Amino acid sequence: MKYQASVKVMLKASVLDPQGSALERALASMGHKNVLAVRVGKIIELILESPSLEEAQREASQWADNILANPNMESFTISVKELKLDEDSLK
């Protein structure tokens, strides 16, 4: 069975995010004064073959923890869903 795992990796709140701050200032300088905070993270979408949803979640979570995120500076959330055959999900 094929699954799509989305791993969202954000810098921890205590870690400075220069890219987010730059974007915040850019939006403010364009007149969008109602933007209170901006943070930028990355999202990693994986298609994986797995015998079950639970196993896919376990694997994705392990990869996120060991490879995709730096647990000292980043936190991550994972969502895994079964991939429908007619879905072209990595667009």
**Residues of the shown chain interacting with a copy of itself in the complex, contacts defined by CB under 8 A:** 2, 8, 10, 12-13, 20, 23, 26-27, 30, 32, 34-50, 59, 63, 67-68, 75, 88, 90-91
| C-alpha of 44 from chain center | 6
Q: CB of 84: closest distance to a copy of itself in angstroms?
A: 15
Measured CA to CA, the distance from residue 34 to residue 30 in angstroms comes to 11
Report yes or no: 60 and 9 within 8 Å, Cβ to Cβ: no
Q: CB of 87: closest distance to a copy of itself in angstroms?
A: 12
| C-alpha of 54 from chain center | 19
Q: CB of 86: closest distance to a copy of itself in angstroms?
A: 15
Neighbours of 6 (CB within 10 A): 15
Measured CA to CA, the distance from residue 46 to residue 90 in angstroms comes to 8
